[in-house]
Structure 1
Amino acid sequence: MNNQSTFKTYRTLLGIVMAFAILDHTRLFFHYWNTNPADLDHTTWPLFFTRFISHYFAPAVFFITGMELFHIMGKKTKTQNVWYLFSLGSALILIEIFINNFLYTFDIYYRTIGVFIIGSLGLCMFCMAGFQYCSRTFILVISLSIIAGHHLLDSIQFEGHSMKAVLWYLLHQQKYIPLGQNMYIINYTILPWLGIILSGYFFGFYYKPESSAVIRKKILLYSGWISICLFFLLRSINDYGESNPWKIEVSTAKTILSFFNLTKYPASLDYLAITLGPILLFLAYAENWKNPIADFFSMLGKFPLFTYLFSTFLIHFTAMAWLVVDGKPFQMMVITPDSYSDKSPLLNYGHSLAAVYLLSGVFILICYFMTKKINFFRFDFLNKAKSHKTIKRS
């Protein structure tokens, strides 16, 4: 498998899960604010499903990041990798704090600061600077140990905002920290996401140009099916692997929803098993996927950081503009600590799920054309640069 084909498979997967993320963010800003799709007493099948498919976004991003790090770091010295990873990690954390948080809140006073997927990726980059010195076997063992064993730490719970407590929140405990007029949110903890990056780093070996496509597909298929079977086994036992046990509800439909109602913050073993399994199967079957649908999602996933940030801005800005059209103050869509309380003016404001799906389709198309434009200008710039170098040499 050549590098171009490898990158297209990565991008196609990223494009698909990016579309899921755009749908979920559209739900967040256009459906009823702070509604919980996992609240079985008030949710519906379509609402639950809309949230559930977005669960594939984060595992795919962390896993592919690990695979790409394997290839990038393999071309540099250990010392160069340390500088690269610390620079990249610092940049991602700054983007999270100053750009992503603003696009999410539109609050110029930054009263709500969160560690979400971008910030967590940045923190994991720091850890990878040390793991590069370990063997692949050790990395696999650590990865599986983190993914399977992080629940053993669930009983350790901190309160307050001491340095020790904050470090623990960043490591393994989701937390909302109200502090004066501000709110600090930690959703994506280092554990277990570091385990996902490490597993992606391990799998990156099988995507080397000289690797066997047959062996790679077998490993992906076996790993994917084992992961899915592990989910159904653990969920059936209903003990270890998920802090939110399922139960028999008043109807079969609600019982099924309860079975698939999984914890994302921090991500449970069951959550990771049922998301990573299909991701691995997709990578196995989509290796030579060539059709207009693959081309569409490959383009959508070509510049994932840009698309993620741009789509957040686009969705939030459109939601704010929609408020004005509805004759309501746009300030309602400025997210502050009050937005998470019963004081939020958005509590009883929202639109149907059908409108959410329609709007998300529009947002996905806009992001697709934006990435297509960026790709065109990028290649045009590179071609001009190459042409200039050729003329200069001659």
Structure 2
Amino acid sequence: MTELQTKENNSRISSIDAARGLVMIVMALDHVRDFMHVASLTQDPTNLQTTTAALFLTRWVTHLCAPTFVFLSGVSAYLFYNSSPGSSRKKFLFSRGLWLMFIDLTVINFALWFDVQLHTVIMEVVFAIGFGLMVISLLLKLPVRAIGLAGILIIFGHNLLQGVSFKNNPVLDFIFAVFFRQSLFTPKPGFAFITAYPLLPWLGVILTGFSFGQIFKLPELVRKKRFLQIAASVFCLFILIRGLNFYGDPLPWSVQKNALFTFLSFINVTKYPPSLLFILLMLSVLFIVLWLAEGKNNPLVKVLRVYGKVPLFYFVLHLYLIHLLTLLMVFVEGHTFTNLKFGLLRNGRPEGTGVDLGTVYLIWIAVVLFLFPICKWYGKYKQKHRGNRILQYL
């Protein structure tokens, strides 16, 4: 989650902020569900053998969030650097990336677990973005097309490594997991490290986003047309590869108990780590969103931009708010402080607690509405103090 200045004629590019704002709103739904849904501690919402269509789609629609954040971080890095190329901006990209990695392992992890001893540490999407920005800062002397080609090769090729394992060499296995595979490691009793967002696949996404930054320098009508063309091409490629059903995702689709669940199987692509098909499908949706938002200044776009202008601020704030609401839910259900369970893989919520899916949606809407005036205030404050070096990192 990064917000670098993206300028066009001295104003921000509205489609970027609107797309980012949309997925930030959707992201809150996923986190409310994950923290508060009655079945979230015991049920995988994408397991077609146990889930419902409503629960599956509630989870599936939020798949759009991480690819959008990572891809647009690459776009923003391109626009930021190329608006005034120089060593100072190169250094800022590197330091910004390092800062995001630190924030992820500390502030964001505490928001997830409320555990001051951090018995559980998880590499989240912000860590992957930070790493990507650092890599971009080291590649700026290369042609933009070369950087983009490297990103595309990673996206299309990393699934070849999905079955590789080094279980007999713990150090090598850990390093491999950090870059290629979601894994849980317990190097000592009472501590776990989770590589939820392996770095290499997401690096492919951010490098590709960096190269696509060139499109945003085209005239508005031209890039709007390009968005639609790219969306159609990427989606058709997804349909072709998914239909062949032999590469691009470790989970093949199959005929299910009815047509709806067969369709859900077809779109049930792997996020951890993001498979080729996951990335193709989600980026095709992203380009549709950009196409719809490009050149628009209607009330909906204005609302979305309020959130999209302050992504890191919103990301951190909404996690703390949802976690606090989770504890409030637990107390309302009759539990006390002594019932809270913190520590290894625990965020305080006892088993058997939670609300139904309908209530999850109501809480989600309340969270988004509550954060709107706060994000609006912070966006104006940040704009007013644009020269503040500290605010550039927040």
TM-score (norm 2): 0.90
- Rounded Cα–Cα distance in structure 2 between residues aligned with 1:367 and 1:10: 20
1:204 alignment partner AA? G
1:367 alignment partner AA? L
- Rounded Cα–Cα distance in structure 2 between residues aligned with 1:330 and 1:64: 41
1:182 alignment partner AA? F
Deviations 1:98-149 (A, max 9, x none): 1000000001110000101011111112211222121122122212111111
Match of 1:11?
A: 17
| Equivalent runs, 1:363-374 vs 2, <5 Å | 363-374=367-378
2:266 alignment partner AA? F
Contact conserved, 1:6 with 1:207, CA < 8 A, in 2?
no
Report which of the two structures shows the higher radius of gyration computed on alpha carbons: 1
Contact conserved, 2:124 with 2:197, CA < 8 A, in 1?
yes
Does 2:187 correspond to 1:183? Answer: no
Match of 1:166?
A: 174
Q: Structure 2 stretches of 5 or more lacking a match?
A: 1-6, 388-394
Could you tell me how far 1:380 is from its partner in structure 2?
Answer: 5.6
- Rounded Cα–Cα distance in structure 1 between residues aligned with 2:222 and 2:70: 23
Could you tell me how far 1:46 is from its partner in structure 2?
Answer: 1.0
Structure 1 residues 111, 264: closer, same or farther in 2, change over 3 A? same
TM-score (norm 1): 0.90
- Rounded Cα–Cα distance in structure 2 between residues aligned with 1:236 and 1:311: 38
Match of 1:360?
A: 364
Match of 1:260 among 251, 262, 267: 267
Match of 1:302?
A: 309
Could you tell me how far 1:81 is from its partner in structure 2?
Answer: 4.0
- Rounded Cα–Cα distance in structure 2 between residues aligned with 1:369 and 1:317: 19
Match of 2:281 among 258, 274, 280: 274
Could you tell me how far 1:220 is from its partner in structure 2?
Answer: 1.9
Structure 1 residues 145, 75: closer, same or farther in 2, change over 3 A? same
Could you tell me how far 1:79 is from its partner in structure 2?
Answer: 3.3
Structure 1 residues 63, 175: closer, same or farther in 2, change over 3 A? same
Contact conserved, 1:70 with 1:204, CA < 8 A, in 2?
yes
Structure 1 residues 363, 239: closer, same or farther in 2, change over 3 A? same
Match of 2:355?
A: 351
Query: Partner of 1:178: helix, strand, or coil?
Result: strand
Could you tell me how far 1:76 is from its partner in structure 2?
Answer: 4.8
Contact conserved, 2:14 with 2:293, CA < 8 A, in 1?
no
- Rounded Cα–Cα distance in structure 2 between residues aligned with 1:382 and 1:262: 40
Contact conserved, 2:270 with 2:278, CA < 8 A, in 1?
yes
Cα RMSD for the two superposed structures: 2.2
Match of 2:31 among 25, 30, 35: 25
- Rounded Cα–Cα distance in structure 2 between residues aligned with 1:133 and 1:382: 28
Identity %: 28
Match of 2:80?
A: 72
Match of 2:223?
A: 216
Match of 1:242 among 245, 249, 255: 249
Contact conserved, 2:330 with 2:353, CA < 8 A, in 1?
no
Contact conserved, 1:71 with 1:204, CA < 8 A, in 2?
yes
Contact conserved, 1:319 with 1:333, CA < 8 A, in 2?
no
Contact conserved, 1:172 with 1:266, CA < 8 A, in 2?
yes
- Rounded Cα–Cα distance in structure 2 between residues aligned with 1:93 and 1:312: 17
Contact conserved, 2:238 with 2:281, CA < 8 A, in 1?
yes
Does 2:248 correspond to 1:207? Answer: no
Match of 1:285 among 292, 295, 300: 292
- Rounded Cα–Cα distance in structure 1 between residues aligned with 2:376 and 2:291: 26
Match of 2:390?
A: none
Deviations 1:239-290 (A, max 9, x none): 1111001111122222222111110011011111111002112212311112
Could you tell me how far 1:86 is from its partner in structure 2?
Answer: 2.4
Match of 2:325?
A: 318
Match of 1:387?
A: none
Deviations 1:8-32 (A, max 9, x none): 2111111110011100000011102
- Rounded Cα–Cα distance in structure 1 between residues aligned with 2:362 and 2:377: 23
- Rounded Cα–Cα distance in structure 1 between residues aligned with 2:140 and 2:277: 28
* Larger mean Cα displacement after TM superposition, 198-207 or 330-339: 330-339
* Larger mean Cα displacement after TM superposition, 241-250 or 211-220: 211-220
Could you tell me how far 1:37 is from its partner in structure 2?
Answer: 0.4
Structure 1 residues 160, 57: closer, same or farther in 2, change over 3 A? farther
Could you tell me how far 1:160 is from its partner in structure 2?
Answer: 7.3
Could you tell me how far 1:77 is from its partner in structure 2?
Answer: 4.6
Deviations 1:162-200 (A, max 9, x none): 443222112111111123101111111112111111121
Match of 2:258?
A: 251
* Larger mean Cα displacement after TM superposition, 5-14 or 179-188: 5-14
- Rounded Cα–Cα distance in structure 2 between residues aligned with 1:380 and 1:217: 30
Match of 1:392?
A: none
- Rounded Cα–Cα distance in structure 1 between residues aligned with 2:236 and 2:61: 19
* Larger mean Cα displacement after TM superposition, 309-318 or 221-230: 221-230
- Rounded Cα–Cα distance in structure 1 between residues aligned with 2:271 and 2:23: 16
- Rounded Cα–Cα distance in structure 2 between residues aligned with 1:9 and 1:88: 23
Structure 1 residues 332, 82: closer, same or farther in 2, change over 3 A? farther
* Larger mean Cα displacement after TM superposition, 39-48 or 249-258: 249-258
* Larger mean Cα displacement after TM superposition, 47-56 or 74-83: 74-83
Query: Partner of 1:184: helix, strand, or coil?
Result: strand
1:363 alignment partner AA? V
